[in-house]
């Protein structure tokens, strides 16, 4: 039995099709994982995740020695993922106390952590200083005055600026345009730079920017680097994350090499020769390392035929009308073609739609469906819509599977209810 190569290319690198047509990841059959851990379940190919991390770290250091990759942990904030990324030598970006505490719980060294956020509280900045967070990204004047009020050693910081670049992506995830809520406009940034350079509380190491997420043309990244070049001469330029990924077999996305070529060439042209170039990939680092398994609950035949599974926008909000990503999918034991169906979830919205016109071969109740490219922002956006339980996360590698996050229980749905 065969599988469309363009569909297979969405799956983690260790994915294979057995002679009887069953899909395996990390040497484990997806149907076996569905039996053992129940569904929905998020499966992470640990080797693929590590390999992707190295593509970024080795690719960047070969092109620009002395540079650093930070994992934008908002894209998959669970301790096992933090641990893998830290073991692979990445710095870890956190936004807020919750991600900071999770990273520390995963034994990420504080000096490797970069704290972000456009509205950091006194508590969060206090915690960052107290725990020795390596870098705080200053987002505006209130971050500056809050740090000045905290008693502590000199804090290494970057200043987030608005490069004024309209990234070609959805408005909700575009962040580098004029009028963005993140960072300071360039004129004001100059005043903040002068202020911090004259204060003993700050070691201003450099400039930070991030123009948005799911960006599929690399030119915008180069434009952003050029836009901040005349702010001064700094040790560090952190150009954020944002590289987009393919979600569907018909999508195209730049490769990591194309992205790294673009930003390092822009850095060579516009930035000081000795400056470190930092990047913060999230989506492009984790998206393709995971698939989510579901079971078919019902098949409603007609025009169109609806195949509904035991998950939906509770465990994958990216598939919602709000975000609008259209996923691809396949039957885990019959991956070769079939008639087009609408693959839908079980939450109470018509926007709870994974895929339209999806070819599936005679789907029936209890079939296992594998949805690829679910590693980014799905765990992040889990919710209990319709009382759904947040699903487990399982790592697979070399023929064995390890549970790293267990499934939520029905009891846990009400544990915070005190009235
Ligand atoms: C400051 C910052 N850096 C990095 C990222 C990661 O972006 P992406 O997941 O698109 O790579 C984000 C997320 O939007 C972000 O806000």
Whether the Cβ atoms of residue 155 and residue 147 lie closer than 8 Å to each other: yes
Task: Decide the pairing of beta strands 16-17 and 202-208.
Answer: unpaired
| Average pLDDT estimate for 24-45 | 98
CATH class of the domain at 5-45+287-414 = mainly beta
Residue 167 and residue 301: Cα distance in Å, rounded? 41
The answer to whether residue 78 is catalytic is no
**Ligand 1 touching residue 72 (CB < 6 A):** yes
Q: Encode pLDDT of 243-289 as tens digits.
A: 999 999 999 999 999 999 999 999 999 999 999 999 999 999 999 99
**Ligand 1 touching residue 208 (CB < 6 A):** no
Best residue among 75, 115, 168, 247 to mutate for probing ligand 1's pocket (most ligand atoms within 8 Å of CB) is: 75
Q: Which atom of ligand 1 lies closest to the CA of 281? A: 11
| Average pLDDT estimate for 42-47 | 98
Q: Which fold has domain 47-286?
A: TIM Barrel (3.20.20)
Topology match between the domains 5-45+287-414 and 47-286: no
Weakest mean pLDDT among 30-44, 217-231, 320-334: 320-334
Whether the Cβ atoms of residue 207 and residue 240 lie closer than 8 Å to each other: no
Whether the Cβ atoms of residue 358 and residue 337 lie closer than 8 Å to each other: no
Please choose, from the candidates 220, 346, 261, 278, the residue with its C-alpha nearest in 3D space to the C-alpha of residue 92.
278
Best residue among 160, 242, 373 to mutate for probing ligand 1's pocket (most ligand atoms within 8 Å of CB) is: 242
Best residue among 181, 210, 244, 246 to mutate for probing ligand 1's pocket (most ligand atoms within 8 Å of CB) is: 210
pLDDT given at position 36:
98
Q: Encode pLDDT of 184-216 as tens digits.
A: 999 999 999 999 999 999 999 999 999 999 999
Measured in Å, residue 156 CA sits from the centre of ligand 1 at 21
pLDDT given at position 168:
73
Residue of 170, 172, 348, 365 with catalytic role: 348
Q: State the angle between helix axes of 79-87 and 46-63 in degrees (0 to 180), rounded to the nearest 10.
A: 40
Measured in Å, residue 343 CA sits from the centre of ligand 1 at 29
pLDDT given at position 1:
65
Q: What is the pLDDT of the chain when averaged over all its residues?
A: 96
Measured in Å, residue 173 CA sits from the centre of ligand 1 at 9
> Where residue 165 falls among pLDDT bands split at 50, 70, 90?
confident
Torsion of CA 33, 35, 41, 45, to 10 degrees: 0
pLDDT given at position 266:
98
55: Cα separation from own chain's centroid: 16
List the residue whose alpha carbon is closest to atom 13 of ligand 1: 213
| Average pLDDT estimate for 146-157 | 95
Q: Which atom of ligand 1 lies closest to the CA of 160? A: 1
Measured in Å, residue 241 CA sits from the centre of ligand 1 at 5
Q: Encode pLDDT of 383-396 as tens digits.
A: 999 999 999 999 99
Residue 98 and residue 124: Cα distance in Å, rounded? 9
The full set of domain ranges for the chain reads: 5-45+287-414, 47-286
**Ligand 1 touching residue 210 (CB < 6 A):** yes
């Amino acid at each position: 039995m065969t599988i469309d190569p363009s569909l297979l290319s969405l799956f983690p690198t260790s994915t294979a099709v057995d002679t009887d047509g069953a899909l395996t990841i990390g040497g484990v059959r997806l149907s076996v994982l569905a039996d053992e851990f129940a569904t929905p379940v998020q499966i992470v190919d640990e080797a693929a995740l590590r390999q992707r991390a190295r593509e970024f770290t080795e690719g960047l250091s070969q092109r620009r020695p002395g540079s650093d990759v930070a994992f934008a942990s908002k894209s998959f904030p669970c301790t096992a993922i933090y641990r893998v990324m830290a073991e692979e030598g990445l710095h870890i970006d956190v936004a807020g106390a919750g991600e900071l505490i999770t990273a520390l719980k995963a034994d990420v060294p504080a000096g490797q952590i970069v704290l972000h956020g456009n509205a950091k509280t006194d508590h969060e900045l206090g915690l960052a200083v107290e725990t020795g967070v390596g870098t705080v990204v200053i987002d505006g004047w209130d971050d500056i005055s809050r740090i000045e009020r905290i008693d502590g050693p000199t804090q290494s910081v970057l200043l987030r600026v608005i490069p004024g670049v309209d990234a070609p992506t959805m408005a909700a995830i575009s962040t580098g345009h004029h009028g963005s809520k993140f960072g300071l406009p360039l004129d004001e940034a100059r005043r903040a730079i002068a202020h911090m350079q004259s204060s003993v509380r700050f070691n201003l190491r450099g400039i930070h920017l991030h123009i948005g997420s799911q960006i599929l043309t690399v030119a915008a990244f180069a434009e952003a680097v050029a836009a901040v070049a005349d702010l001064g001469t700094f040790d560090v330029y952190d150009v954020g994350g944002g590289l987009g990924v393919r979600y569907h077999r018909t999508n195209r996305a730049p490769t990591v090499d194309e992205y790294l070529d673009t930003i390092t060439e822009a850095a060579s042209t516009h930035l000081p020769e000795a400056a470190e170039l930092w990047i913060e990939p999230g989506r492009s680092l984790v998206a393709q390392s995971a698939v989510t398994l579901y079971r078919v609950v019902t098949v409603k035949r007609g025009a169109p035929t609806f195949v509904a599974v035991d998950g939906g926008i509770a465990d994958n909000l990216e598939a919602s009308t709000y975000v609008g990503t259209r996923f691809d999918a396949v039957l885990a034991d019959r991956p070769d073609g079939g008639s087009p169906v609408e693959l839908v979830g079980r939450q109470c919205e018509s926007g709870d739609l994974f895929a339209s016109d999806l070819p599936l071969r005679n789907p029936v109740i209890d079939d296992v469906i594998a949805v690829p490219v679910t590693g980014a922002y799905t765990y992040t956006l889990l919710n209990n819509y319709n009382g759904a339980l947040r699903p487990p996360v399982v790592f697979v590698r070399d023929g064995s599977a390890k549970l790293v996050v267990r499934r939520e229980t029905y009891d846990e749905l009400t544990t915070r209810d005190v009235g």
